[in-house]
Structure 1
Amino acid sequence: MAGVRTAWRVVDDGDFFCAACGGDRCYRRLAGRRRLTVLGVPVLPRGTAEPVVECVSCRGRFPLTALDRPTTTRLSALLRDGVHTIALALLAAGGGMSTRGTAGTAARRAAVESIRAAGFPECTEERLLTLQAALGAESLPLLDREVRATLSELTPHLASPGREALLLHGARIALADGPYHATERTMLTAVGEALRLSPSDTERLLATALSA
């Protein structure tokens, strides 16, 4: 006979990762107002309802925090950018982008291969050298800041194995042309910090890469 119903209205829409569907889907953000109904007729307001996100595909409803998780498309882009930035930083730290001769060639090739695999198939050694030239003499400080900024957005969405894999990616580039240089270790430590790895875990992973 009597009850409380919620009238929903759409206030926003977009793409999100639907946990129920297990993939990227369209969503509608809904705002609601509660009303006391008698015989199905609304008679008195009962305040607002908590806004929700509704999946257009499965009609599942979720709290707004569901929008904090990146879509798989966005996560792929973040990973690609993370790999690219780490590679540039390690090449700059090891001198691999400071010469067009044979020095640093192995590191540049390792970087190119990993960057291509991450989703930049057009990457070449020449492009890496061009980027280094564009950054100029202050490349290391700039890349240190870029590493921290890029990884700060990615790290919260990665489990420990994924964060460790990114550090090992950088370590392999550094080791491609010989043992770690002091500047490479400094940059790898910065990468570990940006990935929220403990100092002991960072040292363990760098030692593992060195002994591989």
Structure 2
Amino acid sequence: MLPAQGPKHPIVRHVRFCGIRTSWSTVGDGEFFCPGCGGDRNYRRRTGLRRFTVLGIPLLSRGATGPVVECAACHGRFGTDVLDHPTTVRFSAMLRDAVHTVALAVLAAGGTTSRTVRETAVGIVRSAGAEDCTEERLIDLVAALAADTGRFVMDPGPCGAALAIELHEALEPLAPHLALVGRESILLQGARIALADGSYSPAEREVLSIVGGELQLCSDDTARLLLAASATLP
């Protein structure tokens, strides 16, 4: 004999009567550094239209929202300021260009006659990713930039007008994305080049002070780092 069964309870489904629904439209795309994934990903730039719905049926507009940046991989949505962060590939290129420009500026201030200085500069630039760098290329670039006097009307300083611009263009966009130790490292690499043939010359010290300023280092910290680097001289 089968045991008696109790009454069956009906399945209750909760239906959302009303709410706000957002319809998204894609207005652009590209590649960015996704803070959710932690790497370079494709993204869609999207804008949304918010609507009041009743039983899932859109009735009244509640205005626009966005734009947002949506990761194609994790589908996370972020503010458009996330696009200000360079991709990994772009960041590597910016870092390579920064070290290369600092090397040129130091060479322009201290001269290219010392073989030790040239070799030190080449080694540092190659380590930053410019593997095809040679002494001849650096010398030619220093000469070409020293002859470029038409780009900027101001006191050119010890590294020349063209290199003053190059330093600003290479370091100013990079500095906000580098930790303090990274900014100090770029300055110290320039110091290594300057010190390869002995103590700083006044022009080299002035150029390195400009580099420190472009890297958002205060003058006291720049002076401290340059002094510490010179203390390693034999």
- TM-score (normalizing by structure 2): 0.85
Equivalent residue for 1:172, pick from 158, 167, 192: 192
- Counterpart position of 1:91: 107
Q: Deviations over 1:18-66 (max 9, x none)?
A: 1111100000011000001111110111100121111000111111111
- Contact 1:34-1:46 at 8 Å conserved across structures: yes
- Contact 1:148-1:190 at 8 Å conserved across structures: no
Equivalent residue for 2:122, pick from 112, 115, 120: 112
- Counterpart position of 2:161: 141
Of residues 136-145 and 112-121 in structure 1, the stretch that sits farther from structure 2 once superposed is: 136-145
- Counterpart position of 2:133: 123
- Counterpart position of 1:195: 215
Runs of 4 or more, structure 1, over 3 Å off, are 136-139
User: Greater CA radius of gyration, 1 or 2?
Assistant: 2
Name the Cα RMSD after superposition.
1.1
Residue 49, structure 1, aligned to residue 68, structure 2: no
C-alpha distance in 1 between matches for 2:177 and 2:218: 17
- Contact 2:122-2:133 at 8 Å conserved across structures: yes
- Secondary structure at the aligned position of 1:209 is classed as helix
- Contact 2:117-2:194 at 8 Å conserved across structures: yes
Offset of 1:129 from its aligned partner? 1.3
- Secondary structure at the aligned position of 1:180 is classed as coil
- Counterpart position of 1:59: 75
- Contact 1:83-1:118 at 8 Å conserved across structures: yes
- Counterpart position of 1:8: 24
Offset of 1:117 from its aligned partner? 1.0
Offset of 1:133 from its aligned partner? 2.5
- Counterpart position of 2:8: none
- Unpaired segments ≥5 residues, structure 1: 97-102
C-alpha distance in 1 between matches for 2:29 and 2:135: 42
Count of residue correspondences: 206
C-alpha distance in 1 between matches for 2:218 and 2:186: 14
The letter for the 2-side match of 1:90 is: V
- Counterpart position of 2:10: none
The letter for the 2-side match of 1:209 is: A
C-alpha distance in 1 between matches for 2:224 and 2:142: 30
- Contact 2:107-2:142 at 8 Å conserved across structures: no
The letter for the 2-side match of 1:49 is: T
Q: Deviations over 1:147-180 (max 9, x none)?
A: 1221111111111111100100100000011100
- Unpaired segments ≥5 residues, structure 2: 1-16, 150-158
- Secondary structure at the aligned position of 1:34 is classed as strand
- Counterpart position of 2:92: 76
Offset of 1:130 from its aligned partner? 1.3
Higher percent of residues as helix = 1
- Contact 1:167-1:188 at 8 Å conserved across structures: yes
Residue 17, structure 1, aligned to residue 19, structure 2: no
Percent sequence identity over aligned pairs: 55
